[in-house]
Amino acid sequence: MSVSYTSNMVRAGLSQHRRAKASWRSKRRLRGLTLVECLVASSILAFAVLAIVQAVVAGQMQTVDALHRARGLELAEAMMDEVMRLPYTDPNGGSEVGRANFDNLADYQGFSEAAGAVADAAGVLYTAPFQDFSRSVSIAPANGGSGITVTGLGAALPGLTITVTVQDSAGVTWTLTSFRAQP
């Protein structure tokens, strides 16, 4: 019987040892993270935040660039509309001086506005973001006077080619060209 008593004691001792070891593990779990684990987690978080910030900045840059291009095109379209609303021939005969007096297409030949002086048809300056651009108008007989051949008509159609050019301070250029048939 003494043998059995000894094995029970050994078992009890092992059991206490296991409990103590388990208790130590649970205390270790409650302690939190080690310094190395914190540094690794912080590094991973920093890289993730950096990647997100770079994506946001790239998106903002593309938005600003698209807005700038839209402004350049808007200025070109506004000038083209202003020119095209006028009659082909001069109702008063002769060439008028000053944009407010222009009364036909040919009066716009050679017209230009420098950066910082870009205005609408009424002479009101555009807002500051539009003042980074300059624009000019060129009007010439289509195909050097021989006209444009329109598919389906089979003959050359005389008229004027109107070209509006807008340029920003970086040298980027927007060009609109339109044809106006002679009445």
In this predicted model, what pLDDT tens digit does every residue of 131-180 receive, in sequence order? 999 999 999 887 765 666 665 666 777 888 899 999 999 999 999 999 88
Q: Is 138 exposed, middle or buried, given 0-12, 13-18 or 19+ CB atoms closer than 10 A?
A: middle
pLDDT confidence of residue 16 = 67
Tens-place pLDDT, residues 36-70: 999 999 999 999 999 999 999 988 888 888 999 99
* Contact predicate 160/66, CB 8 Å: no
Q: Cβ–Cβ contacts within 10 Å for residue 17, how many?
A: 10
Task: Name residue 82's amino acid.
Answer: E
CA distance 34 to 98: 79
* Contact predicate 148/157, CB 8 Å: yes
Tens-place pLDDT, residues 86-97: 998 888 777 778
Tell me the pTM.
Answer: 0.67
Q: H helices within the chain, ranges in order?
A: 2-31, 35-84
Percent of the chain at pLDDT > 90 equals 48
Residue identified by tokens 């000019």 is: 136
pLDDT confidence of residue 142 = 78
pLDDT confidence of residue 25 = 61
* Contact predicate 153/162, CB 8 Å: no
pLDDT confidence of residue 12 = 57
